Structures are given as C-alpha cells and as structure tokens.
Amino acid sequence: MISSNAWLASMSNSILSYAPSLSSLVSVWKHHADANLTSTEKQPINLMDPQTCTYTSMCSKDIGLTMISNQPQKSPEAYLYSTLRNPMRILRFSCIERIHFARFLGSEWQANMGEIALPNGISNGSINGVNGQSHSLNGYRKSCWYEEEIEEDLRWCFALNSILHTGASQYQDIALLDTKPFGKALVIDGKLQSAETDEFIYHECLVHPALLHNPNPKNVFIMGGGEGSTARELLRHKTIDKVVMCDIDEEVVNFCKSYLVVNKEAFRDQRLEVVINDARAELEARDESYDVIIGDLADPIDGGPCYKLYTKSFYELIVKPRLKQGGIFVTQAGPAGIFSHTEVFSCIYNTLRKVFKYVVPYSAHIPSYADIWGWVMASDSPLDLNAEELDLRMRQRIKGENRYLDGKTFTSASTLSKTVRKSLDNETHVYTEESARFIYGHGKHA
C-alpha cells in the first residue's frame, strides 16, 4: 500500500493534468497528516500558469477545491477515505457560498463497501489505495459542474465550459458561467437567473402579455431587471416612449452591461432610463404614473434584497397608485410546478387578488430552471383578449417576431393544471413582511 502523501500526490497530479481547461486561477488544498493525524496542514498549490489561462483577467475571485473530513481518523488512509466519502468535494467560489462545482473529476467519486472508484472507467493510471483496492486517477471526464440546491434533497447540475466572471456587491453574490447545455448563465446568490439559450421564454412571458393587454402603452417602470433583457423586450414595442429600469444593485447592472452582449442595444437605447435605487423608494419619490409596472425581481429568498416587494402593503400603497387608469402590473412569481407552486406562486397570486379586481396567473416551462415558472398579471381593467386579438396586436405593435409567445401560447400558459388551479382557488395566505414565504435558499444577508 502506498503512503497517504504519495496517494495525495498522485491525485494532485491527476487534477493538475485537468487544470488547463479551467477558466480561473484555481487552488487545491492538500491535506497532510502524520501517522496519528495529530495535525493537518493546508498548503495552497497553484494549478494553473496565468499565462496559459484564457479567462484569468476576467476572474475576481479564486476558486478552491476543498476536501473536508468532519472527524479525525486513526490513519492517513482512513482520513483520505473519509475525505472522499464526503459528497461536497467541491469547487467553490470563495465569495459565493451557495454555488458548488461538484464532480470535479467528472462524476462524483463513489465510496461503497470500502471501495472508492472513478465511475467513468479505468485507464492506465491505477494505483493501490484505500483497503488495497485498485483505483484509477485518469479515468475521468474533463469537465467542471455547476450545482444548485433546489430543495434540501434535490439538486440540479450541468457541465461548464468555463467561469467567465465572479463578483460580489453589498447586496448579492454574482457569477457569469459558460455552461455546456445552456450557454452563458447569470447566477445571483446561488440561484440561476437566466441562461442564454432559453431566457427568451421567461422575458417574452413577463413582458408581452401585459403590454398587449394595455390599449396604448407609452411608459413602463421595471422593478429590478438589471440584466437588461426585460428592457430589450419592452423596447421592441413601437408604442413605447420611455422605460425606467430601477435596480438596487449597480454592480449587477454594470456586470450585465459588460458581459451580456445580447442586451447592449437595449442599454444604448435613448428611451431607456437606468436608475440605481430601491424600487419602493423610487416609486414613492416619482410623481409620474405608468401604463405598466413590471416586477422583474430576484426570487423572494430569506436574506435576499427583494422579498418586501412581494407584499400586500407594497402592491396596495406603492404600486397601484402609480398605475394610470387601466394600467397593468405584472410580476414574476417563482416556481409554478405541480409540487413547487405552493412555495410562493400561489400566495403571490392570492395577495394580488386582495389588491386588484382582475388577476391572471400563467406559467411556462423554463429548461434551465428545471421547473415550470410562474407570472401573475393584475389590473382593475379586464384582461380578456383572445388568441386572435393578441396575435393582431403583436403584428401591429412589436418589431420582429417572438420566438416563444403568441396568442395560442398565452392561452395555453394561462390554462393551469387542475392541481395548480385548485391550490390557487383555495390559497388563503397573504404575503406580508411578517408572514413572508421564501423559495428554498438563502440570500447574502440571511
């Protein structure tokens, strides 16, 4: 049996061979232990020469691969065994505790019945390791994985090409990832906000139904929307004279201006006014009223900056008075799947029913979210256009063609399943600051 240090050296060499495909300066923490494991030394080892790293200059934080053992072991081999059994052998942004890059060497190291193996096959790099078993250090798939904890017992992960940028503001942690299945993806506080390949579904659903139900929308106020995609869709409407995008986090706005090329035209449009402020304070301070107000806010999570903007008092005292006669409010309302809609979707819907006369919930599947997503549209004027009327207004008002939404699609989206309809009909919870509901996860200040 080889010594623990030799075993670690072999594993480090294996990781080092993978380093050129990473996109940031990476450190791996080697754990050294003597025969009695009386001390553990952490020695940072630079995995990458900055001259060969394509994205080094774009990354603001180091990433560390940390192997953790909760209990002291009797021998170095047992220590290593315990380390590799730990399911959180992760690549982690030091500034973003909720973002994990699991399965660093392809899929996870597996530990069963005293055996540790790399599940993607055996190659010529086998060594004798824990309990005398033969294990490969070279039979791994060369990819890093993003992992998001959707629920306590449910995680969603996909492979990465690279980590383009990470950062942190006083409100939120931010990352831009280049993912294999979904292209560039914006992650805030460990939650995927939008992905390049399917963000059009979310933003077309958020923007166009409300704009089309309004007879002649001229000015719109966006709460949040820092990435610019909501403004982009609004500015496609020929009737629009002015869009105010109010986001609390200047770091997010500047980040998206710099890295999300798809929205550069929107940020340059003279009709767009970008304001850095709390949306509640900004609406209170303004005298003007709006044809449409859009809530493109981060999900209500414990410790996040936005949950107070989903409350009945906010809708009743701030939003509604700022709408013109016949004005429409629409908000993203979180997961709306068979099992997830009771997190916040149903109570946001019920809360808006207490404030507006007409309320329409609707939903669509967003592949990168791994769930159906929900929106709620509300007004004191009827929201009853049929599919043909919606299609006619799209042809008359919108520049270019939608990729996802048309009249029939909206009719389908607003026809919820029996399970969800029944839950919404029976929902009694009203969203307040004192009785807030949250989706799973934690904000920076939780």
Q: What crossing angle do the helices spanning 199-213 and 387-397 adopt, rounded to 10°? A: 100
- Of 251, 207, 240, nearest in space to 403 by CA: 207
Question: In whole angstroms, what is the distance from residue 394 CA to residue 407 CA?
Answer: 9
Residue pair 235/297 in contact by the 8 Å Cβ criterion: no
Q: What does the pLDDT read at residue 164?
A: 87
Torsion of the alpha carbons at 173, 179, 182 and 187, rounded to the nearest 10: 0
**What pLDDT is attached to residue 17?**
42
pLDDT of 66: 29
Beta bridge partners of 179: 160, 183
Q: Please tell me whether the overall predicted TM-score, pTM, comes out greater than 0.75 for this model.
A: no
Helix (H, G, I), strand (E, B) or coil at 207: helix
Q: Domain boundaries in the chain?
A: 4-168, 199-426
Question: Measured between alpha carbons, how far is 63 from 43 in angstroms, rounded to an integer?
Answer: 15
In contact, 209 and 387? CB cutoff 8 Å? no
Per-residue confidence (pLDDT) for residue 165, from 0 to 100: 85
**DSSP-derived secondary structure for 154-188:** EEEEEEEEEEEEEEE-SS-EEEEEEETTTEEEEEE
Which is catalytic among the residues 189, 247, 291, 296? 296
Tell me the average confidence (pLDDT) per consecutive run of 10 residues in the chain, 446 residues long: 46 42 31 31 32 26 30 37 34 30 31 26 29 38 76 88 87 90 91 95 98 98 97 98 96 90 96 97 96 94 84 97 98 96 97 98 97 98 98 98 98 98 97 88 55
Reply yes or no on whether 296 is catalytic: yes
What CA–CA distance (Å, rounded) separates 290 from 59? 40
CA nearest to 238, candidates 393, 381, 402, 403? 393
Task: Say how far apart CA 355 and CA 329 lie, in whole Å.
Answer: 11
Residue 134 corresponds to which tokens in the numbers above? Answer: 């033969």
The pLDDT of residue 380 is 98
Asked if 308 and 435 count as a contact pair (C-beta separation under 8 A), the reply is no
Contact 235, 200 (CB under 8 A): no
Residue 301, pLDDT score: 78
Give the DSSP letter of residue 404. Answer: S
Tell me the three state secondary structure of residue 386.
coil
The rounded distance, in Å, linking the Cα atoms of 154 and 141 is 23
What does CATH list as the number for 199-426? 3.40.50.150
pLDDT confidence of residue 3: 46
Is residue 301 exposed (0-12), middle (13-18) or buried (19+ Cβ within 10 Å)?
buried
Distance CA 181, CA 159 (A): 7
